[in-house]
Amino acid sequence: MVNHDNSYKYLFSHAAMVEDLLRGFVKEDWVRDLDFTTLEKVSGSYVSDDLRDRADDIVWRVRWGKDWLYVYILLEFQSSVDRWMAVRMMTYVGLLYQDLIQTGQLTNNRMLPPILPIVLYNGDSKWTAATDIKSMIQKIPGGLGKYHPRMEYLLLAEREYPETALSGLNNLVAALFRLENSRTPADLLEVVRNLLKWLADSKQSSLRRAFTVWFSRVLFPNHFDKEEQPALEELTEVENMLSERVKEWNKESMERGMQQGMQQGMQQGTQHGM
């Protein structure tokens, strides 16, 4: 799973992926006021006061509105359900705020900038962990609840998005979700051809390469035998490989259909003769 996590970090180290993530999957009004031309990746590793290193996956910042208010985005990639994710995210946000205070990165009003914590979940099982730290703390009557922390993270579970909701989106992250959920070479080929159109500009060569690496190290090892995996350097090679797979798959499907038809015909003929 290390390759999976690292490949996601590679993909989401590109501003275009983060922009499409926010535009396509954060259904909130404030997203419309973001200046996506200012997207900037910042360090995701912080040192707490007791000098223990703590690392997030990826952190970006982007200007919001006219006041140059920064929005920091935390992306936490998970392939299995972590019951205590809300605690982890609260810790990461606290460490990020510590770092912002120490480096003087505050708003014009000397306040802390808002943070959007996102958990991008690509596991097969349903996410069952709480998304709000408040709901995880034992309730005691008598007013103690007002001292409990309150923080919620945004959960994006890839498997919960149906194909019908993703296929109509001209969106790189939606394409990634479709690739994760695809079951046949034909499904994969359709998405790859869309990616080739969207990433045709020479400025997107790094992102094309990132998707190629993801195919080579994540998707193909899970779908095909190792000895059948060629070395892939470009997304066009992925398209060619999948095209051949689709031809083989269609041929095998036709042969299976013919065999089933022959068997059914023989059985019907035997029954008729009897």
Low-confidence ranges of the chain (pLDDT < 50): 1-2, 51, 252-259, 261-262
Per-residue pLDDT, 45? 75
Residue 216 DSSP symbol: I
Per-residue pLDDT, 226? 58
Residue 83 DSSP symbol: T
Residue 219 DSSP symbol: I
User: ∠ CA 91-96-101 to the nearest 5 degrees?
Assistant: 125
The length of the chain, given as a count of residues: 274
The whole-model pTM stands at: 0.83
Per-residue pLDDT, 274? 53
Contact by Cβ (8 Å): 26, 116: yes
Angstrom distances, CA of residue 194 to CA of 5, 168, 189, 223: 24, 11, 9, 21
Per-residue pLDDT, 227? 57
Q: What's the order of all strands across the beta sheet hosting 58-64? A: 34-42, 58-64, 69-78, 115-121, 154-157
